[in-house]
Amino acid sequence: MAKRPPTVSWPSDSWIDMSHDEATEIRLINKIVVHFAYLPTEEAVIEVANHVSRFWDPRMKRRLFELVDSETKDFEPVAVAATALLR
Amino acid sequence: MTLLKEPDFGTPAKDGPASVSLEVDGMRVSVPEGTSVMRAAAMAGVDVPKLCATDRLEAFGSCRLCLVEIDGRRGTPASCTTPVADGMVVHTQTPKVAKLRENVMELYISDHPLDCLTCAANGDCELQDMAGAVGLRQVRYGYEGENHLDAVKDQSNPYFDFDPSKCIACSRCVRACDEIQGTFALTIEGRGFDSKVSPGAGESFMDSECVSCGACVQACPTATLQEKSVIQLGMPSRSVITTCAYCGVGCSFKAELRGDEVVRMVPHKDGGANEGHSCVKGRFAFGYATHPDRMLRPMVREKITDPWREVEWDEAIGTVARRMLEIRQRHGAGAIGAITSSRCTNEEVYVVQKMVRAAFGNNNVDTCARVCHSPTGYGLKQTFGESAGTQDFRSVAQSDVIMVIGANPTDGHPVFASRMKQRLRQGAKLIVVDPRRIDLVRSPHIEADHHLQLKPGTNVAVVNAMAHVVVTEGLVDQSFVGERCEGFDEWAQFISGTENSPEAVESITGVPASELRAAARLYAQGGNGAIYYGLGVTEHSQGSTMVMGMANLAMACGNIGRDGVGVNPLRGQNNVQGSCDMGSFPHELSGYRHVSDDAARKVFENLWGTTLLAEPGLRIPNMFDAAIEGTFRALFVHGEDIAQSDPNVKHVLAALGAMELVVVQDLFLNETAKFAHVFLPGASFLEKDGTFTNAERRINRVRAVMKPKSGRHEWDIVCQIATAMGYPMQYDHPSQIMDEIASVTPTFTGVSFDKLDEMGSVQWPCNEQAPDGTPIMHVDAFTRGLGRFVPTPFVPTDERSTRRFPLILTTGRILSQYNVGAQTRRTANIAWHQEDVLEIHSHDAEVRGIEDGDEVTLASRVGATTLHAQISDRMPTGVVYTTFHYPVTGANVVTTENSDWATNCPEYKVTAVQVTLAHPVSHLNGEAAADRELAVGLVD
């Protein structure tokens, strides 16, 4: 196969799929909630809070608190309750 | 052939008690039933001459040198093919056998070049040795008859030559390729005098199916198959036992040298992981360590657009320390951090995480396991209580059913794959769960009983469906579950739900329900069932969930806690297990203890004389986010190339570009170094003293064969940085670092360099409870006490194919290249793989007007790259595949930010893409084009 010059490019803006625009913290905590959905709500809240406490760094937790206050509608209810527990 | 010769007993050992007693040359010896007379003699201290026999291969009986006389038996049987019998009396040296052996050697030598003095194998040739052993003094046949002395050499392989003029047709090479490697690339073509070794159907070695593992070279008793390096450099004069620095198998090698020049790497027969076998990378591809691209002097620059300036070590270390302190002063302790290497030693990784915790003052340390097996750590800890695989590699020899999920061991872990294939050829059943038809599905004498060719992203649905079958069809090992586990009832209720049935998930997974049911039944009922898995499990948005799903399945079937079973992660890099063990995680100290664990933290605080943070630090993806935000401003990158290996490259490059200080310690100027302000030259494994821990938790010694070319040991550089930052760290030798690790890590308390020198290697836990290590875990109890069943609902990934991006890209590795290719691209391995290609099914190619070899654009919602297409029926329709060994490919330009919910491990294996015939990049315009040109230029 013939060598060709390297061509790496970013797509023009029209290619970018905007559906993945939500904040990382919202996306991640909602996914954690889904994982623990098999539990009764109270237990799920505790497990989600524990997971965030054990694995998220202080910056992410601070951002989580800010986002829950400002973008509550984007969070699963269990995520909101778990964040309250973390505070 | 090899310099440091381990004893060769002629034929393989047999298991069992030493119940058969016999006499050899007047000496009594007792051996297990089935042992050959040759091996029994060797055990009695009698070396019977041999050429076709070696204890790594089954007896063949062709050379006729090993003839003996046995009382009460007629003739002169070959001792290699004759099993012992109780009361047997063997005579290995009689006038009759002496004459026969001399005659055999005369025949061999009559058709052999007499160039011993100039032959590359002079002094290391078994034919030479046997001529001496039998007392050969003449060749009465003369040399005028028909012979093979004009046979043409095959020099096609970049690493070894095949000179058939020296071949004695002992078939060791053919048998090694069959029995040890399992590739069956060689054969004996022709009969009688015309017999000759032939790769494939008369092809050259390079054109044949040979995978260049070197087993044939190792087995060859003459110079017929000889390393080119020995031919060029001469025989080595000294040997150092060390450990390979490529994959997670952790093969033990003898580095054979002349002075401090490595002549060849020969697999060590006593290596616990490899037992004398190797692959092309470890065996031959060590040249990168002395490649001209090696950077040997520290360098600094103010801005990443400035040229590099070489400096002395003191200035480089001082610059790192000064700038780290200054950034910390301005932006807080959380603004600096480090990424440790999965290729460096345990001792080096330990001091890096110690530097971060004690000198930097935070927990912002992470390892490349983040992007590969972090879900293994999470999932197995949740279920079994320990973040590591359960078995040793030898265990596969007792497996009856082997299930390989999301792994391609013949390419990624070839030496372990050879073991697996040996067991499969003996009759073990095979289930492969993979979207691609990997080589293991159908290879010589092996065919998967079930290939569950699932759609990418549906692993959890498949494992849940298998577990559903086990529970609803009454296949649960109730006594194991009742005695050893908790949470079973809740889990069983969950898994029995109809939504988890094979029929319900068939349309999601693409796996026919009947096939899935049959595979589940086989795993549950087929005897010892073992699961081996790789990044096709972990690098998914439900990676951790899948690991727990497999653990659930294994527990339900009682497949834990003995030989032949288990849940076995095939960890990719030589020390990724070790880097995890050493606590280079933002949330865990060494031995997987959470930073919030007061008792664990106290141990370190007391020893280190400092206070440690109880909150987790930044994970690698968070470091990038924080860098772009402006809150994370300095990064020490130790032996990693995140600009090439991490997903969503645009994001990574933006993060690196945003930082004030990037320090890279590496062998070469890699993609990440393009963004560095300080470059610290690293040391290759040939220059290091320390340990690696492989995928089976085996701690192996790494021994330096030469001084560090940069003049400094990597662990010493890190200690000096910490000291310059105000936290004194000083060791005289890496053994002291391991002693410290042992003093603070409960699973390592019995480990020391002395112990490793004595035992060769040891599998942790190695402590008071297990002073000789722990090959098999969870034997009587799980680490957490009872194994825990965790419900694992299937949640489809967000990354779905769309009209715009209708195909799914999955990525992987190949045999001859390793990871980002920094090492292997600087060796002759490029002969096998000059570029990353895109494998695409013929249907998908046809509808796009793509032919084999066409240049295509691979695009996702985050980026695009171009590469050549390869039409392949290994891929199902709708799925494309590529590797990431060449930076110019930029495969990770297209992978996205999606990640595992628990660990942030990137979802490399599922990216929605479109593939089109390539076109020039003409749609860029204005400022955006200028920015992107700069980025492209920096990437290149």
A54/B contact by beta carbon, under 8 A? yes
Q: How far is A77 from chain B (nearest CA, A)?
A: 18
B296/A contact by beta carbon, under 8 A? no
Q: Does the distance separating the beta carbons of B616 and A55 come in below 8 Å?
A: yes
> What pLDDT sits at residue B724?
98
Cβ–Cβ under 8 Å, residues B534 and B406 = yes
Q: How far is A40 from chain B (nearest CA, A)?
A: 12
Residues of B in contact with A9 (CB under 8 A): 863-865, 921, 924, 932, 936
> What pLDDT sits at residue B687?
97
> What pLDDT sits at residue B926?
38
Q: How far is B587 from chain A (nearest CA, A)?
A: 6
Q: Does the distance separating the beta carbons of B888 and A16 come in below 8 Å?
A: no
| B594, B650, B835 ranked by CB distance to A54: nearest | B594
Backbone dihedral angles phi then psi of residue B530, each to the nearest 5 degrees? -120, 135
DSSP state of A20: G
Residues 6+ apart with CB under 8 A from B263: B227, B229, B230, B233, B234, B235, B236, B256, B257
Residues of B in contact with A2 (CB under 8 A): none
**pLDDT band of A6, cuts 50, 70, 90:** very low
> What pLDDT sits at residue B888?
76
User: Which residue type, as a one-letter code, is found at position B206?
Assistant: M
Q: Which two tokens stand for residue A44?
A: 């799920």
Q: How far is A5 from chain B (nearest CA, A)?
A: 9
Task: In whole angstroms, give the CA distance from residue B875 to residue B885.
Answer: 20
> What pLDDT sits at residue A3?
35
| Residues of chain B where predicted confidence (pLDDT) is lower than 50 | 920-940
Q: What is the CA radius of gyration of chain B?
A: 29
> What pLDDT sits at residue A21?
58
> What pLDDT sits at residue B919?
65
> What pLDDT sits at residue B857?
94
Q: Which two tokens stand for residue B29?
A: 């010896």
> What pLDDT sits at residue B933?
41
Task: In whole angstroms, give the CA distance from residue B131 to residue B102.
Answer: 8
B936/A contact by beta carbon, under 8 A? yes
A86/B contact by beta carbon, under 8 A? no
Backbone dihedral angles phi then psi of residue B715, each to the nearest 5 degrees? -65, -35
| B622, B834, B864 ranked by CB distance to A60: nearest | B622
> At residue A59, does pLDDT exceed 70?
yes
> At residue A18, does pLDDT exceed 70?
no
Q: What percent of chain A has pLDDT over 90?
A: 61
A85/B contact by beta carbon, under 8 A? no
Task: In whole angstroms, give the CA distance from residue B905 to residue B324.
Answer: 28
Cβ–Cβ under 8 Å, residues B863 and A10 = yes
Cβ–Cβ under 8 Å, residues B207 and B200 = yes
| A8, A15, A31 ranked by CB distance to B861: nearest | A15
Q: How far is B400 from chain A (nearest CA, A)?
A: 33
ipTM, interface predicted TM-score of the complex: 0.84
Task: In whole angstroms, give the CA distance from residue B527 to residue B472.
Answer: 19
pTM of the full predicted structure?
A: 0.93
B866/A contact by beta carbon, under 8 A? yes
Q: Which of residues 832-851 of B touch A (CB under 8 A)?
A: 834-835
Helix (H) or strand (E) run with residue B638 in it: strand B634-638
Closest to B212 measured CA to CA, from B830, B829, B820:
B829
